[in-house]
């Protein structure tokens, strides 16, 4: 495929298997049963303990399903430990009537549902039909990748085009139970997606980059407004749609990892128990300012200025730096973490983190990444 950065008007976008996207208050109660693949479908729910025990959401979905509810697994924890996945797989394997999996929650339940489907396929050649009800802005529902944590604490992943959920239900009523800090930090994760896809060398101009610009602008505008009124379901829905736009048009043709901020986030996340929304708060501003040194990346980043109510100067590298500064200011305005001071990560971990990101122990790339990692410490 032609490099989309060097020639934005010649490219390719290959859509995923997503069939439906519902959004708005109450769409789960109105549409869930119609989303099942056939009249005899049985659905298995994957979620976390907090949603299952501290909110009525899971019980509401169970009641909606009625006789089509095959069971609920609510032991999914942050970063999706593999032991929980294997336990859920055994439950599903023992019920041959299950053809659908419904994930309710943030990135961990959604990734877990995808990983369960993948592992089942390797054992039985069967893919599960996936309906997801996201309650954060992590946008895991938009990808064909599933991340989970191995027994040794290392985050790993699997990927296949069949892992993209078939149906997404963005119901703002479900988000009313999401803790505000979780919502806003995963909003930074969505911004991370939008910016890294914007300067990704194989991203398509249409629809990926154009929608990433729109998504980033919406996130900059509406995350602060959410803080002022966290029960405003119109604001919640706008942010859900921005989250989808940040990654939902990734397409099959985008090659390689999303970007350095994400790679740093994986190295910081499960090994040190830091949520991925928070890792984006820590890394994104630094990475954007670093990418401003790359002229091709800077050209893409600078395109964002009009979407965040700023005028371009004409110097794309200076303008890209300004975007990085705006990311820092947004994180601070939302009261989110700007460094690793609140986490048990000592400076002696700098070479460990750097090696995980680069796969090397020295060299130019190592030195560059080490400099970025050092900036995360107070």
User: How does pLDDT run across 151-201, given as a tens digit for each residue?
Assistant: 666 667 888 999 999 999 999 999 999 999 999 999 999 999 999 999 998
Q: Dig out the tokens for 54 from the structure.
A: 């501290």
Whether 1 is in a domain gets the answer no
Nearest to 44 by CA among 55, 58, 56: 58
**pLDDT attached to residue 2:** 44
Between helices 180-198 and 210-228, what is the axis angle to 10°?
A: 160
Q: Name 145's bridge partners.
A: 159
Final residue of a structural domain among 175, 199, 218: 175
- Domain final residue pick, 147, 175, 203: 175
- 166 and 184 together in one domain: no
pLDDT at 8 over 80: no
Phi, psi angles (nearest 5°) of residue 105: 135, -155
Q: What is the mean pLDDT of residues 11-30?
A: 93
State pLDDT tens for residues 264-288.
998 998 889 899 899 999 999 999 9
**267 closest CA partner among 358, 378, 175:** 358
* pLDDT at residue number 1: 40
Residue with tokens 């350095």: 260
Residues 209 and 357 in one domain: yes
Q: Does residue 224 have a pLDDT over 90?
A: yes
Q: How confident is the model at residue 29 (pLDDT cuts 50, 70, 90)?
A: very high
Which residue range forms the structural domain that includes residue 25? 20-175
| pLDDT tens column, 318-351 | 999 999 999 999 999 999 999 999 998 999 999 9
Check which CATH number belongs to the domain holding 359 and give it. 1.20.1090.10
Q: What's the confidence (pLDDT) of residue 153?
A: 67
Q: What are phi and psi of 377, to 5 degrees?
A: -100, 145
Choose one of 150, 175, 200: the last residue of a domain: 175
Instruction: Taking the CA atoms of 134, 140, 146 and 150 in sequence, report the sign of the dihedral they define.
Output: negative
CA distance linking residue 335 with residue 294, whole number of Å: 30
Location of structure tokens 């994930």:
103
Length of the chain: 378
Copy the structure tokens of residue 164: 């993209």
Alpha carbon distance 328, 188 (integer Å): 11
pLDDT of residue 6: 55
Q: Based on the fold, state whether residues 199 and 155 are members of the same structural domain.
A: no
Q: Which residue has the higher pLDDT, 270 or 136?
A: 136
Looking at the structure, do residues 162 and 27 belong to the same domain, yes or no? yes
Task: Give the residue carrying structure tokens 């400099």.
Answer: 371
Same domain, 252 and 345: yes
pLDDT tens-digit map of 77-119: 776 677 788 888 888 888 888 999 999 999 989 999 999 999 8
Query: Is 299 in the same domain as 151?
Result: no
Binned at pLDDT 50, 70 and 90, residue 76 comes out as confident
Structure tokens at 57: 């959401």
Same domain for 227 and 342?
yes
259, 280: one domain: yes
CATH of the domain at 117: 3.40.50.1970
- Please check whether residue 207 is in contact with residue 127, taking contact to mean a CB–CB distance below 8 angstroms: no
The answer to whether 35 touches 20, Cβ cutoff 8 Å, is yes
Cα–Cα distance measured from residue 169 to residue 273, given in angstroms and rounded to the nearest whole number: 29
Based on the structure, what is the number of domains in the chain?
Answer: 2
Segment among 14-18, 74-78, 124-128, 334-338 with least mean pLDDT: 74-78
Give yes or no: residues 33 and 168 share one domain: yes
pTM of the predicted model as reported, rounded to 2 decimal places: 0.94
Q: Indicate the SS3 state at residue 100.
A: strand
Q: Are residues 171 and 184 in the same domain?
A: no
Residue 12 lies inside a defined structural domain of this protein: no
């Amino acid at each position: 495929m032609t490099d989309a950065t060097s020639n934005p008007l010649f490219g390719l976008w290959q859509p995923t298997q997503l069939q439906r996207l519902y959004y708005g208050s109450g769409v789960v109660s109105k549409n869930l049963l119609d989303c099942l693949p056939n009249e005899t479908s049985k659905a298995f729910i994957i979620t976390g303990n907090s949603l299952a025990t501290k909110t009525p959401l899971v019980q509401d979905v169970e009641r909606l399903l009625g006789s089509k509810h095959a069971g609920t697994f609510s032991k999914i924890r942050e970063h999706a430990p593999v032991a929980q996945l294997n336990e859920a797989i055994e439950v599903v394997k023992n019920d041959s009537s299950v053809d659908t999996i419904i994930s309710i929650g943030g990135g961990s339940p959604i990734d877990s549902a995808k990983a369960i489907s993948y592992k089942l396929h390797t054992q039985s050649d069967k893919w599960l039909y996936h309906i997801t009800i996201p309650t954060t802005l992590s946008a895991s529902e938009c990808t064909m990748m599933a991340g989970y944590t191995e027994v040794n604490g290392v985050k790993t992943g699997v990927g296949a085009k069949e892992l993209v959920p078939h149906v997404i239900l963005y119901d703002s009523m479900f988000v009313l139970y999401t803790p505000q800090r979780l919502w806003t930090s995963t909003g930074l994760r969505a911004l991370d997606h939008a910016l890294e896809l914007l300067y990704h060398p194989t991203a398509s101009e249409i629809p990926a980059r154009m929608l990433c610009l729109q998504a980033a602008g919406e996130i900059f505008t509406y995350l602060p407004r959410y803080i002022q009124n966290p029960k405003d379901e119109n604001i919640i829905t706008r942010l859900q749609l921005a989250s989808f736009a940040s990654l939902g048009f990734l397409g099959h043709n985008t090659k390689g990892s999303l970007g350095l901020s994400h790679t740093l986030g994986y190295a910081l996340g499960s090994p040190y128990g830091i949520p991925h929304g928070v890792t984006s708060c820590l890394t994104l501003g630094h990475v954007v300012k670093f990418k401003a040194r790359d002229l091709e990346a800077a050209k893409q980043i600078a395109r964002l200025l009009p979407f965040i109510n700023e005028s371009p100067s004409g110097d794309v590298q200076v303008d890209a730096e300004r975007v990085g500064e705006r990311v820092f200011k947004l994180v601070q305005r939302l009261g989110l973490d700007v460094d690793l001071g609140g986490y048990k990560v000592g400076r002696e971990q700098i070479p460990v983190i750097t090696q995980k990101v680069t796969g090397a122990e020295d060299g130019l790339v190592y030195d560059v990444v080490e400099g970025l990692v050092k900036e995360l410490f107070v």
